[in-house]
């Protein structure tokens, strides 16, 4: 059996990326009236993570905020004035929500993707029993199909220095497909349902409910796949129509993967089946990512209850 300390403080972030609209507008609503996210056993704090980007309806001002939550930045009390705005903002958020501040117990970060990811739950560890049990609760109780994306990886260039690092436990709710700068009612409502289900789990945990051992299917990142490029580093091919919108579907050796601008098919030549995620995500063109290759795994989740002393 695993135990975890009672949860005292939960933060719900929207607008980590300023053009991902369902999280932005949910948090704006909760900042005006917090009754819906109030639970008697803990404090819930809504937060617009990147307010300048939200004001401009842009993903970020200088650099991607969701890659700035690093120990290097956290060690700065006052970043130099020449540092990007998002570095300053990451330090501010750490002072308020992270180890330098009140050390919030849970961070729930709301995101949208242009990829056909559905109701994706993103976690960073296969060893955090509290988060794994919360995710299992979401899968079972939300009434939504929720693939689980595990970003835990030993490859340094895939390290995700995202907002989940601020809390003792963290989860990102990544919903799509939704265009950047657009608010879609169905996704807004699904996001809202998932947040409420997270908060319900935390309240039950605080009240002493024991969560039994479970198994949890996850998609663990393996590597990223870039678009084919020419000598000028420009795209020479696009995602193949047979792969487009097929997030979480198996991609087998020999399956169509890209289509060149001249109409030739480029097939997947890997040694084993992978499960692509974030296929053709608009924000990832600048990062050199056509999709994430993942493998499907089943985790054993230990029994969980609140620590009583």
Residue 108's nearest CA partner among 125, 90, 121 is 121
Residues 6+ apart with CB under 8 A from 71: none
- Strands (E) in the chain, as ranges, are 2-4, 9-14, 43-48, 106-112, 118-123, 148-150, 169-176, 214-225, 237-239, 256-260, 265-267, 275-277, 291-301, 304-306
Residues 6+ apart with CB under 8 A from 191: 22, 23, 26, 110, 173, 175
Beta strands 169-176 and 118-123: pairing type? Answer: antiparallel
| DSSP secondary structure code for residue 166 in this structure | G
HSE-up of residue 278 (Cα within 13 Å, Cβ side): 28
Q: Please count the other Cβ atoms lying within 10 Å of the Cβ belonging to residue 226.
A: 13
Distance of alpha carbon 302 from alpha carbon 309, whole angstroms: 20
Tell me the catalytic residues: 174
């Amino acid at each position: 059996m695993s135990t975890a300390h009672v949860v005292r403080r939960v933060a719900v972030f929207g607008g980590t990326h300023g053009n991902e609209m369902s999280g932005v507008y949910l948090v704006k609503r909760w900042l005006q009236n917090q009754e819906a996210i109030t639970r008697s056993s803990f404090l819930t704090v809504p937060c617009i993570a990147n307010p300048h980007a939200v004001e401009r309806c842009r993903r970020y001002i200088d650099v991607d905020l969701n890659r700035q939550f690093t120990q290097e930045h956290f060690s700065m009390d006052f970043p130099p004035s020449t540092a990007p705005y998002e570095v300053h903002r990451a330090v501010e958020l750490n002072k308020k929500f992270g180890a330098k501040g009140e050390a919030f117990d849970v961070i729930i970060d709301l995101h949208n993707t242009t990829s056909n990811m559905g109701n994706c739950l993103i976690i960073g560890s296969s060893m955090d029993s509290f988060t794994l049990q919360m995710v299992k609760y979401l899968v079972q109780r939300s009434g939504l199909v929720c693939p689980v994306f595990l970003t835990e990886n030993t490859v340094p260039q895939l390290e995700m220095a995202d907002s989940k690092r601020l809390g003792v436990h963290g989860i990102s709710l990544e919903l799509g497909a939704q265009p950047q700068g657009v608010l879609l009612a169905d996704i807004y409502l699904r996001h809202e349902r998932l947040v409420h289900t997270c908060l319900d789990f935390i309240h039950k945990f605080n009240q002493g409910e024991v969560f039994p051992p479970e198994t949890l299917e996850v998609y663990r990142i393996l590597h990223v796949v870039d678009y084919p490029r020419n000598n000028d580093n420009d795209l020479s091919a696009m995602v193949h129509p047979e792969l487009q919108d097929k997030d979480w579907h198996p991609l087998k050796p020999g399956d169509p993967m890209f289509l060149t601008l001249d109409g030739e098919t480029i097939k997947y030549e890997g040694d084993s089946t992978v499960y692509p995620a974030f296929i053709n995500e608009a924000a990832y063109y600048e990062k050199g990512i056509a999709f994430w290759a993942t493998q499907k795994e089943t985790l054993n989740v230990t029994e969980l209850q609140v620590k009583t002393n």
